[in-house]
């Protein structure tokens, strides 16, 4: 059984935005669980990483939050995507696609441009 990997730098915001876009408003615990679930439980996501990222996304205007009740009837902050967040998600997804295409060229010997 392999150990869980850390979230790659620069990918957490993209994963958070995509998760909220897909599932709608979620609290931090729900976001973390969904990211871990989608990764096949291969990613390790701790709250010391997630909550600063949520705060940064909120300060940038990509997400908005409001208090509500979780499925356990506990007070929780729910995060939703803003219009600016949808634009950021589109841009970050394009950037990620471009980055992975470039890396694929380095990892595949058949991609020699010469």
- Asked if residue 71 lies in contact with residue 49, where contact means CB atoms within 8 angstroms, the answer is no
Say which CATH number the domain at 76 has: 1.10.10.10
pLDDT at residue 54 in the model: 96
Let me know if 109 is exposed, middle or buried by CB neighbors in 10 A (0-12, 13-18, 19+). Answer: exposed
Does residue 1 surpass a pLDDT of 50? Answer: no
**pLDDT interval class at 47 (50, 70, 90):** confident
Q: How many domains does the chain have?
A: 1
- Rounded Cα distance between 114 and 10, Å, is 31
Range of the domain at 96: 5-111
Let me know if 12 is exposed, middle or buried by CB neighbors in 10 A (0-12, 13-18, 19+). Answer: buried
pLDDT at residue 4 in the model: 74
Task: Give 58's DSSP letter.
Answer: H
Q: Give the pTM.
A: 0.84
pLDDT at residue 57 in the model: 96
Q: Helix H segments across the chain?
A: 12-23, 28-38, 47-60, 83-107
Q: Mutual orientation of helices 83-107 and 47-60 as an angle, nearest 10°?
A: 120
């Amino acid at each position: 059984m392999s150990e869980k990997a850390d979230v790659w730098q620069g990918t957490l915001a993209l994963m958070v935005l995509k998760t909220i876009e897909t599932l709608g408003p979620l609290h931090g615990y729900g976001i973390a669980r969904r990211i871990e679930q989608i990764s096949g439980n291969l990613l390790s996501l701790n709250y010391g990483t997630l909550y600063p990222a949520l705060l940064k996304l909120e300060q940038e205007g990509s997400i908005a939050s409001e208090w509500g009740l979780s499925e356990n009837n506990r007070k929780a902050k729910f995060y939703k995507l803003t219009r600016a967040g949808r634009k950021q998600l589109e841009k970050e997804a394009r950037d990620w696609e471009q980055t992975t295409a470039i890396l694929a060229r380095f990892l595949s010997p058949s991609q020699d441009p010469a």
